[in-house]
Amino acid sequence: MNQRSLFIKDGHHQLHLRHIWNKPDGVPVLMLHGTIENGKIFYTESGKGLACYLAEQGFDVYVADFRGKGKSTPHIHQDSEHGQFEAITQDIPLFIEEVAKRNPKKMHVICHSWGGVLFASTLVRYPEKLTYIASNICFGTKRSVLTSGIEKTLKVDWLWNRIAPKIAKRKGYIDAKKLKFGAESETSLFLQDSIDWVKPNAWLDRNDGFNYQEAAKEIQWPPTWHITGIRDKVLGNVKDVQAFIDESNNTTAKLSLLSKQSGNALDYDHIDILTHPSNIEDHFPHVVHWLNEQHS
């Protein structure tokens, strides 16, 4: 297996793509991570994770690090001025164009968590990008958190919606790794953008008022598969995943809930659905089969 780092220059930013492949002519896969994480949710340099598994199956894999995350530079700091808007309007279009430039075949796009919301938002804003896309798989992707309970109150209502903004106001950004509730920092702008959407508000862009939900009615979505785990009670609750499918008007999307009761190896949560060792014998082979079906 081969791995190398590619960089896309955008102003004073360098956006990182981890290229992982086993054969040179594979079907391309672009992978997009979620909030307070980076592309390492999909791979390790020692060859673990979904990205490496797909490369072993012959796919040409590109794992993105959003602006300021992972190996993208400069890293997020107190004066960082980008947010969710830049991820939707700059980062994702640049990643799609870079992969398309390197591999002319239509690409699959695999997202984790908030990465799926950002990707869908990019396609709604720029429907011409659909010509590059073969399919989309989202793990634990929801927009608004509609569920209730103690975990939601602690993680969303208190930590993300109340405490995090106070820290960001004082420090200039959220150092989630230092605070031990994530692997990456987030800018104050990104935090505020995401809070607006995590609450049961309209799918509108607070930067320019773009109405994603209305525009989504005109989108011919690529084949889409949403996957979440039964122990993902808040960050990818199956009811919230379905709500995002509904508001996207993605009427043909498939939704799977992974659990022991459904025949899976374990009851998955928001993270181990991508990182548990059992995945390579459990649902990862089904992912490969589904991706191959979209090109048959």
pLDDT digit string, tens, across residues 173-195: 998 888 878 889 999 999 999 99
Identify the band that residue 207 occupies on the pLDDT scale cut at 50, 70 and 90.
Answer: very high
pLDDT for res 144: 96
CB 279 within 8 A of CB 50: yes
Question: Is this structure's pTM higher than 0.75?
Answer: yes
pLDDT for res 259: 98
182 falls within a domain: no
Q: Is 252 left (phi over 0), alpha (psi -120 to 50) or beta?
A: alpha
CA dihedral defined by 73, 77, 81, 84, rounded to 10 degrees? 70
* Residues 16-73: tens digit of each pLDDT: 999 999 988 899 999 999 999 999 999 999 999 999 999 999 999 999 999 999 999 9
User: Into how many domains does the chain fold?
Assistant: 1
Number of H helices and number of E strands within the chain? 11, 10
CB 257 within 8 A of CB 238: yes
* Residues 88-142: tens digit of each pLDDT: 999 999 999 999 999 999 999 999 999 999 999 999 999 999 999 999 999 999 9
Q: Which residues pair with 152 in a beta bridge?
A: none
Which tokens is 205 given?
């862009």
How far apart CA 51 and CA 287 sit, in angstroms, is 11
Phi, psi (5° rounding) for residue 261?
-60, -30
How many of the other CB atoms lie within 10 Å of CB of 283? 22
The CATH number covering residue 46 comes to 3.40.50.1820
74 falls within a domain: yes
58 falls within a domain: yes
Domain that holds residue 60: 2-144+212-293
Counting residues of the chain whose pLDDT is more than 70, the rounded percentage is 100
54 falls within a domain: yes
185 falls within a domain: no
CB 114 within 8 A of CB 35: yes
